[in-house]
Amino acid sequence: MKGTSPAIPDQVDVLVIGGGINGISAFRELALQGVDVVLMERDDFCSGASAALSRMVHGGLRYLENGEFRLVRQSLQERDRLLKNAPHCVSPLPTVVPISSWIRGTLPTIAGFFGARVKAHRRPGLMIRAGLLLYDLLARHSRTMPRHRGLSRAALRKMVPGITGSAVGGVLYFDARVSLPERLGLEMVLDTEADSEARAFSYTEITGIEAGKIRWRDRLNGASGSITPRVVINATGAWVDIVGSAIQPGANAKRVHGTKGSHLMIRNPELQAALGDHMVYYENHDGRICIAFAHAGAAMVGSTDILIDDPDAAVCLDDEKSYMLEALANVFPTVRVSEEQIVHTFTGVRPLPVSEQGATGRISRDHSVDVEPAGLQPFAVLTLIGGKWTTFRVFGEEVADLALAELGRAREVDTYDLKIGGGRNLPTDACERTAWINRCAAATGMSEARFSVLVSRYGSRAETVAAFISEGDDAVLASAPDYSRREVLFLIEHERVREIGDILLRRTTLGIEGRISAALTSEIAALLGAASGWSDEETSEAVARFNETIQHRHRVQH
Ligand SMILES: Cc1cc2nc3c(=O)[nH]c(=O)nc-3n(C[C@H](O)[C@H](O)[C@H](O)COP(=O)(O)OP(=O)(O)OC[C@H]3O[C@@H](n4cnc5c(N)ncnc54)[C@H](O)[C@@H]3O)c2cc1C
């Protein structure tokens, strides 16, 4: 199978542990400077928190009330960079905030800003508008989107039909969304490997240290070995303390205490119609912010924020479901959601710093790096703490600069304007785009409609995907006719696929759309098994592993 990983070296300048968005970002930064770097991820790339986000690429309006102005400014800048550098994946997201009172709640909101512990309360419209004035101001240098504006009660109801009658008005502002965050992470791995000698290995777990060498194990084929790095970047998110004590036995630092967050994918026509193209950003009775917007053919509703000790135990529990449905019913009182309409759930753990804050929402969402020079252990260790998805580029840049300092090297290139994956050479002008689509469709004998679908999935890489498809006999998947067998084969051969879930949950939106079925699973398993040379028994084992994942972690039964 093409794309099979080369051998893992014995020695390397930098070993990145963890292939979530932040580890991949640091890996990309270092590889671009010509550093000898290897990344190891124990599952698929972007399968931890980086697969569980609310899909918002945002400044974080809510962080203003925690006084995190630097984080908001940086996040807004990164949001605007991503709109330019990854236009195939990141797009504007008009956001509506319903307001229950313009003034009530002002005093507790101000007291909360100054650090007082206050009872749950609704945020007043005036304070939300003040926050948005600041939001607009912080985004002024890289402005890519319109400023916020107020909505009368009538305008709000027109924009979001079905919204609660208790809203006295609303506010409309603009942030952005990412269609498939896992794909963007993977594309950074592919770009990096294409442009450098650096290599990333999925399903390769760091298990400990022996005689100064870091031990790894391939979780799928059982291979194992060791590697000697000069610098280790521990980018394992909610797992940093577990991995930290595995590679530095005796050091039991507690840096991260994650919070679990779940989302529901709901296929309910009334809710989807009410949401239209907007995200609704609303408060629950406990003052927590929830979100809902139409995504991947369903309404995505989230999220919870619950401290959790064991990140591997994070799944969406029934009380979380009830909490999110109750909050949704407060804002859309006439919408009835039945159990069968919940077609998929996903959960992840935010890698938040250990904090004394009582309310999880008050814990800082900012990032930092703990630097331990070589000494006690034979390599320097940089441990990543926190980090939003939105800020991955700048976090990766900061970590890479620290690693370069450890290696005594200087930065040569930066990623500020570097396009990612299918965002490279993607025509953004409507006329140029149509001409490009027509040209590529004609060159590959594909209909323009089909080629446009590929563009919506892969951006400019659609050209390579279409060329691959046209090189052999093709047929649609019987259980997902908007995909074809050769399209899936392309993913298998060129996108580092090793497991069924890599395709259904992370290379495509089929999982989050709630389209996983026994028939689809076995179709994908047959294609992957044939390409990987699996025996029937190995194929059945892969199906069993996938079924366990979706039943346990995504609560999908089929
Ligand atoms: C519910 C929720 C909603 C969120 N919403 C947003 C949002 O809308 N916008 C936003 O910007 N951010 C959001 N975030 C935050 C964002 O998703 C995370 O902060 C970010 O994805 C963290 O990335 P990471 O790479 O640091 O961690 P992860 O993605 O968790 O990656 C860590 C990786 O380390 C691997 N690992 C663990 N142990 C080992 C080992 N022994 N060997 C090798 N690898 C190992 C894990 O498998 C994992 O893949 C949200 C987070 C959650 C949970």
191-223 per-position pLDDT tens digit: 999 999 999 999 999 999 999 999 999 999 999
Q: How far is the CA of 301 from the centre of ligand 1 (A)?
A: 19
224-261 per-position pLDDT tens digit: 999 999 999 999 999 999 999 999 988 888 999 999 99
On average, the pLDDT of the chain sits at 94
Q: Are 417 and 85 in contact (CB under 8 A)?
A: yes
Report how far apart, in Å, the C-alpha atoms of 490 and of each of 85, 421, 470 are: 24, 15, 11
What the block records as the tokens of 145 is 């989107």
Residue nearest to atom 37 of ligand 1 (CA): 236
Q: How far is the CA of 521 from the centre of ligand 1 (A)?
A: 26
Is residue 367 classed exposed, middle or buried when 0-12, 13-18 and 19+ CB atoms within 10 A define those classes? Answer: buried
Please state the atom number of ligand 1 nearest to the C-alpha of residue 350.
53
Pocket test for ligand 1, best of 24, 27, 53 (most atoms within 8 A of CB): 53
286-335 per-position pLDDT tens digit: 888 999 999 999 999 999 999 999 999 999 999 999 999 999 999 999 99
- The reported pLDDT for the residue numbered 120 is 65
Task: Read off the pLDDT of each residue in 29-41 and give the average, rounded to a whole number.
Answer: 98
Give the pLDDT band (50/70/90) at residue 113. low
350 touches ligand 1 (CB under 6 Å): yes
Task: Read off the pLDDT of each residue in 445-473 and give the average, rounded to a whole number.
Answer: 97
Residue nearest to atom 3 of ligand 1 (CA): 53
Q: 3-state class of 461 per DSSP?
A: helix
Residue with tokens 């291979």: 223
Domains of the chain in start order, with CATH, are: 11-49+182-254+365-407 (3.50.50.60), 89-178+258-357 (3.30.9.10), 425-552 (1.10.8.870)
Q: Which pTM was predicted?
A: 0.96
73-95 per-position pLDDT tens digit: 999 999 999 999 999 999 999 99
Q: How far is the CA of 527 from the centre of ligand 1 (A)?
A: 29
- The reported pLDDT for the residue numbered 3 is 41
- The reported pLDDT for the residue numbered 2 is 43
Pocket test for ligand 1, best of 203, 388, 505 (most atoms within 8 A of CB): 388
235 touches ligand 1 (CB under 6 Å): yes
Return the H-helix or E-strand segment holding 344: strand 342-350
Q: How far is the CA of 388 from the centre of ligand 1 (A)?
A: 8
17 touches ligand 1 (CB under 6 Å): yes
Pocket test for ligand 1, best of 50, 289, 345, 367 (most atoms within 8 A of CB): 50
| 373 CB neighbour count, 10 Å cutoff | 12
Pocket test for ligand 1, best of 236, 347, 393 (most atoms within 8 A of CB): 236
